[in-house]
């Protein structure tokens, strides 16, 4: 049951709608916890769109997202993370990521 709730909250909380918001150029595999005030516990990069700003910034499948505009993961609320990732075309979001080798880097992603 908890897994189903986590999946539903993830879909509701972090989906990006192309007709309303800019595309960030990647998808996330997100783990959340909590029901009334869910928090993002872990976010791993999944597919990255070829030619996107995210790809140009070096974001790759398997990199772990550890902060969105300074909101640290784990701990960032799902609603806050959603808002930070749903910006308009032409706006940017600063992501802090960790590569599989443990190296941390920042990426400034332009939403397209």
Tens digit of each residue's pLDDT (9 = 90 or more) over 4-35: 444 444 444 444 433 467 899 999 999 999 98
Distance of CA 68 to the CA centre of its chain: 7
Let me know: does 82 contact 73? Beta carbons within 8 Å.
no
| C-alpha span between 34 and 27 (Å, rounded) | 22
Q: Do 97 and 73 contact (CB within 8 A), yes or no?
A: no
> Which CATH number does the domain housing residue 70 bear?
2.30.42.10
> Whole-angstrom Cα distance, residue 46 to residue 35?
24
Closest CA to 67 of 36, 98, 27: 98
- The pTM score is 0.79
- The count of domains in the chain is 1
Residue 76's nearest CA partner among 31, 30, 40, 106 is 40
Range of the domain at 77: 2-110
The pLDDT score that the predictor gives to residue 96 is 98
């Amino acid at each position: 049951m908890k897994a189903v709730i986590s999946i539903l909250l993830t879909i509701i909380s972090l989906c990006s709608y192309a007709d309303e918001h800019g595309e960030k150029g990647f998808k996330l595999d997100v783990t959340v916890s909590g029901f009334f005030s869910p928090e993002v516990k872990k976010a791993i990069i999944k597919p990255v769109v070829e030619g996107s700003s995210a790809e140009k910034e070096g974001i790759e499948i398997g990199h772990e997202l550890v902060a969105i505009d300074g909101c640290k993961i784990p701990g960032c609320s799902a609603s806050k993370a959603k808002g930070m990732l749903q910006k308009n075309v032409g706006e940017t979001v600063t992501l802090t990521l960790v590569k599989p080798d443990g190296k941390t880097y920042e990426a400034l992603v332009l939403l397209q």
